[in-house]
Amino acid sequence: MEYKKLGATDLHLSVITYGSFAIGGTMWGGTEKSEAQDAIRASLDNGITTIDTAPFYGLGLSEEMIGETIKGRDRSKIQLLTKFGMVWDGSNNGRGDFMWNQENEGKFYPLYKYASAANVIKEAEESLKRLQTDYLDLLQLHWPDTTTPIEETMEALQRLIDQGKILAAGVSNFDAAQMLKANQYVKLAANQVPYSMLNRRIEDSVVPAAIDNNIGIIAYSPLERGLLTGKFFHGDVLAATDHRNNYFGQFDLNKVRILLDKIEPIARDKGATLGQLVLKWTTVQPGISVVLAGARTREQAISNARAADLTLTGEELDLINAAIENVYRDE
């Protein structure tokens, strides 16, 4: 495993970071707790030291499972990254940016993007309790909230840093202008944004701005929620309530299949899976600090961790990049 310093902080994160969206179950067709906790343990036992989560993932369930699983381990050797600002419990009293009515275990909850100072403090305390810890390594605003001045949100994060409850502050899903504005009020450690072979939009402005301002980039959905593993072209079936039934529709699946066919020989020559090759490619892209990889089973977790052990030559990177460009040349 490789470890990278995050932005201007003293945090060193595992380049493959455990992403816990799927184990929360919400939007993923449910979860199996024992398997999910086995995946977390396997990640930690195979060099992954960093876990990224959010209250929204399972409406608290993901954080609770992580807290239970890491209990008794050396906390100083684990970096816990979580978020705030997606509110479903009604505590915002209808304030904030309405997102949608979120279904969870047969009930529907009105979901809002809301990041008032009071909500920052409230959610931080709730996350500390669920994760069974007295500090968070990184606390991130999950989505921009247009109803709350960014300075109010960021100044609340600075208060949490001053109190020692969080070590660093970050944002998620911010464009370059939003990121730089937030950075005026607190020194941002990172911006967590989507990035993959199929989605390289951040390369235009977010990555250059992050590099210039020493802000880390945490890349999420590098495998496009499993699509780039190739397994869905070979018979894997999704649960009816799995959001990926719709999510995959944004892509030209024929082009995705062509891309995977072109790069698969490189993975095969290395004795690696397509997923491992894709993860490794993502980790070496300019400006990328760490890459989130979800796992719902022990086997998936171990496979993700071993992606960091791969090496890619300049020639291999050129071949992969050429395959991406050839497939998406007209887009």
Looking at residue 301, the DSSP 8-state letter turns out to be H
Mean pLDDT of 16-41: 84
- pLDDT for 234 equals 66
pLDDT band at 239 (very low <50, low <70, confident <90, very high): low
pLDDT band at 240 (very low <50, low <70, confident <90, very high): low
The set of catalytic residues is 57
Is there a contact between 214 and 198 (Cβ–Cβ < 8 Å)? no
Is residue 45, in this structure, part of any structural domain at all? Answer: yes
DSSP string of 168-183, one letter each residue: -EEEES--HHHHHHHT
CA distance 331 to 329: 6
pLDDT band at 23 (very low <50, low <70, confident <90, very high): confident
CATH code assigned at 149: 3.20.20.100
CA distance 84 to 81: 11
The residue type of 3 is: Y
Is residue 18, in this structure, part of any structural domain at all? Answer: yes
| Triad 14, 155, 55: Cα angle to 5° | 50
Is residue 243, in this structure, part of any structural domain at all? Answer: yes
Is residue 193, in this structure, part of any structural domain at all? Answer: yes
Bridge partners (DSSP) listed for residue 16: 291
**Higher-confidence residue: 206 or 20?**
206
- pLDDT for 241 equals 65
pLDDT band at 246 (very low <50, low <70, confident <90, very high): confident
Is residue 326, in this structure, part of any structural domain at all? Answer: no
Mean pLDDT of 56-68: 93
Long-range CB contacts for residues 148-152, cutoff 8 Å, separation at least 24: 148/96, 148/114, 148/115, 148/116, 150/178, 150/181, 150/182, 150/185, 151/184, 151/185, 152/115, 152/116, 152/117
pLDDT band at 107 (very low <50, low <70, confident <90, very high): confident
Domain residue limits at 85? 3-252+272-308
**Structure tokens belonging to residue 325:** 């460009």
Structural domain count, the chain? 1
The residue type of 122 is: K
DSSP string of 197-256, one letter each residue: TTB-GGGTTHHHHHHHTT-EEEEE-TTTTTGGGSGGGTT----TTBTHHHHGGGS-HHHH
Is residue 319, in this structure, part of any structural domain at all? Answer: no
pLDDT band at 33 (very low <50, low <70, confident <90, very high): confident
Is residue 35, in this structure, part of any structural domain at all? Answer: yes
Is residue 320, in this structure, part of any structural domain at all? Answer: no
**Higher-confidence residue: 205 or 233?**
205
pLDDT band at 232 (very low <50, low <70, confident <90, very high): confident
* Mean pLDDT, all residues of the chain: 92
Query: Whole-model pTM?
Result: 0.92
